[in-house]
């Protein structure tokens, strides 16, 4: 492909004119100014400089980008018929049925997405298939769900509506709870002692472990946290038990590694990682300062920043750890916060380094109970989220080998090695604690606390003649698009409005039938593992009209009612993997044959 390129030459000459050409690659048009100076002594040593500008049209060859080797047609997912979908994997994975039930693999309504593009998830436009429909979404205000009367188990759903507020401040939500305006909510950290001592509130209080980990990530490529000694110092200066005893007070478990108890391959708490050790922390930081010829005042001039999403609880934890770093290391750390949706954008690993904080807060909760979902999918720089921005080939190879090993004991050993390398050698982050749910629930609501997956409102029961659940989403969901959801708020809404192939039993956490009634493992002709799912035929695609308040089944051009098919599953999976969708969670599906190169555009 040829393009016309304009090149400008500026030439300084003495008694003669000199021309030169130089071109540097730039899209569309190249404009380059080249200055050449040549001086020559003439009579009476007078120098004359003449400046000329000449425009020259030249032709330059611009190579077109190479065609990708793989297309979506090469993705390892196919509808064998209307009610059977088959996946082909990159390697064996006994945990794949759990991945297949994740929201990013949900069946999705192609016709609606094609018609409305990014607006397709708005109230009145969205088409869903789950126990609830989206009744209304007032951005920044409220998001309400209404029971789907066409749901296959509608008679078993007792909550008719979910009236969802978006209250960020835990103290405000708790005040509403005490006034009877919320049916269930978390307990603010400053209220913990009072709730435990109060005869009524203590009866309504539930504290139970959940498979989540609270951690501070380091931006490993941003000085001074590009040095492992600095990261080590900051990790070992955190007294986790003191934080739990004096701030969170919810019986959390101090975390020195990533995956919590109950996850296959997770090390026992405290056996891997760097414990609190103030003396070791000081020595590590001093080693860095000595090598750099810096004082602690010089270090503090670097303006180290810790960022968290806006939350009273996160602010209290940040203030406590900020003080630990000041007391134990003598360092000053500035704390900032951002609204949740903005915060998630800031933490993308594509954000310019100068816009990234040095340290940032996140939590990770299990999508399925295997270390692959933790140390690999969150931190592997080739196939994971990698917000910490590491690039360690040995670590990457270790998490891949752990996933591919057939022997469970070997997998566990490899995952322990990976956890140890990440926490003790690379010291890429600071695990803080493994979560507990700390919640109060009104006497008229019977609810569960699922160990995995979204809150399942369709399994909850309201008493005393109540039909509407008063709920706090905690923040505005960044999206209701299953391909784009990455946070618990979005997943809670999606999990109640869409069905997945499988789901987790709310009591045991075992993978259970949902859209799929059965599934089985096999091999293709090349020896690759396959998973084949047989689908039920009675899950309707529905739309809700906010004006009339009616829920109706979607029909095709000929007036035939539409039910979820294997083709909808294939479309949903391909849409998540498609690089044009820009799904931040697409890496979860890299276990599917060719998903990684397709998503990378290779």
* Mean pLDDT (whole number) for 571-589: 97
Mean pLDDT value across residues 382-409: 96
Per cent of the chain over pLDDT 70 is 89
Q: Is the model's pLDDT at 1 over the cut of 80? A: no
Confidence of residue 68 (pLDDT cuts 50, 70, 90): confident
Residue 333, pLDDT > 50, answer: yes
Helix (H, G, I), strand (E, B) or coil at 335: strand
22 pLDDT exceeds 70? no
Bridge-based pairing of strands 2-13 and 50-61 is: antiparallel
- Averaged pLDDT for residues 377-405: 96
pLDDT in tens, 194-250: 999 999 999 999 999 999 999 999 999 999 999 999 999 999 999 999 999 999 999
Reference 116, options 550, 495, 480; nearest CA is: 480
**Is residue 34 over pLDDT 80?**
no
pLDDT at 25: 30
* Complete DSSP assignment for 120-144: TTSTTT-EE-SSEEEEEEETTTEEE
Angle at alpha carbon of residue 225, lines to 341 and 280, rounded to 5°: 120
Is the per-residue pLDDT at 156 higher than 70? yes
* Per-residue tokens: 33: 């100014």
Q: Does residue 458 sit in helix, strand or coil? A: helix
Tens of pLDDT, residues 507-517: 888 999 999 99
Burial (CB count within 10 angstroms: exposed 0-12, middle 13-18, buried 19+), residue 170:
buried
Which pLDDT value is given to residue 246?
98
Q: How far apart, in whole angstroms, are the C-alpha atoms of residue 345 and residue 570? A: 28
| Cβ-based burial of 20 (10 A; exposed 0-12, middle 13-18, buried ≥19) | exposed
At 471-493, the pLDDT tens digits run 999 999 999 999 999 999 999 99
């Amino acid at each position: 492909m040829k393009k016309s390129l304009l090149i400008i030459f500026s030439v300084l000459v003495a008694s003669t004119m000199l021309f030169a050409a130089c071109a540097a690659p730039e899209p569309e048009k190249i404009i380059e100014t080249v200055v050449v100076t040549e001086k020559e002594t003439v009579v009476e040593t007078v120098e004359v400089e003449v400046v000329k500008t000449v425009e020259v049209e030249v032709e330059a060859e611009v190579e077109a980008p190479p065609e990708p080797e793989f297309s979506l047609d090469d993705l390892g997912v196919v509808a064998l018929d209307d009610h059977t979908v088959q996946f082909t994997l990159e390697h064996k994975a006994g945990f794949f049925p759990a991945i297949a039930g994740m929201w990013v693999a949900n069946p999705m309504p192609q016709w609606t997405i094609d018609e409305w593009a990014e607006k397709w998830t708005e109230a009145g436009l969205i088409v869903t298939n789950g126990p609830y429909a989206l009744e209304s979404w007032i951005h920044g205000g409220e998001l309400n769900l209404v029971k789907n009367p066409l749901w296959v188990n509608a008679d078993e759903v007792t909550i008719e509506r979910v009236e969802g507020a978006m209250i960020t401040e835990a103290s405000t939500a708790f005040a509403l709870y005490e006034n009877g305006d919320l049916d269930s909510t978390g307990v603010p950290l400053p209220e913990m002692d009072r709730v435990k001592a109060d005869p009524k509130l203590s009866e309504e209080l539930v504290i139970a472990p959940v498979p989540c980990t609270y951690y501070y990530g380091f931006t490993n490529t941003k000085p001074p946290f590009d040095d492992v000694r600095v990261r080590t110092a900051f990790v070992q200066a955190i007294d986790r038990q003191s934080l739990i005893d004096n701030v969170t007070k919810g019986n959390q478990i101090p975390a020195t590694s990533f995956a919590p108890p109950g996850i296959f391959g997770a090390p026992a708490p405290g056996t891997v990682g760097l414990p609190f050790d103030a003396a070791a922390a000081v020595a590590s930081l001093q080693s860095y300062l000595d090598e750099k010829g810096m004082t602690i005042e010089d270090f503090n001039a670097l303006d180290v920043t810790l960022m968290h999403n806006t939350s009273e609880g996160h602010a209290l934890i940040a203030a406590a750890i900020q003080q630990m770093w000041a007391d134990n290391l003598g360092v000053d750390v500035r704390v900032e916060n951002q609204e949740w949706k903005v915060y998630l954008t800031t933490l993308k690993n594509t954000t310019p380094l100068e816009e990234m904080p040095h340290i940032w807060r996140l939590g990770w909760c299990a999508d399925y109970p295997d270390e692959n979902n933790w140390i690999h999918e969150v931190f592997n720089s080739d196939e994971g989220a990698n917000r910490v921005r590491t690039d360690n080939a040995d670590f990457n190879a270790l998490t891949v080998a752990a996933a591919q090993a057939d022997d469970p004991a070997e997998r566990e050993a490899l995952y322990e090695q990976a956890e140890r390398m990440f926490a003790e050698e690379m010291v890429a982050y600071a695990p803080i604690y493994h979560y507990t749910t700390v919640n109060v629930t009104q006497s008229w609501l019977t609810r569960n606390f699922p160990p995995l997956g979204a809150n399942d409102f369709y399994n909850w029961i309201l008493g005393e003649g109540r039909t509407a659940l008063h709920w706090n989403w905690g923040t505005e969901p960044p999206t209701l698009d299953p391909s784009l959801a990455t946070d618990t708020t979005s997943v809670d809404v999606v999990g109640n409005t869409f069905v997945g192939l499988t789901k987790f039993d709310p009591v045991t956490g075992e993978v259970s039938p949902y859209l799929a009634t059965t599934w089985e493992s096999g091999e293709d002709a090349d020896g690759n593992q396959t998973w084949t799912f047989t689908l039920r035929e009675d899950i309707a695609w529905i739309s809700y009209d906010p004006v009339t308040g009616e829920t109706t089944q979607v029909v095709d051009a000929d007036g035939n009612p539409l039910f979820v098919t294997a083709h909808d599953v294939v479309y949903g999976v391909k849409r998540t993997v498609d690089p044009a969708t820009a799904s931040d969670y697409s890496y979860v599906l890299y276990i599917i044959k060719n998903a990684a190169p397709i998503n990378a555009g290779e």
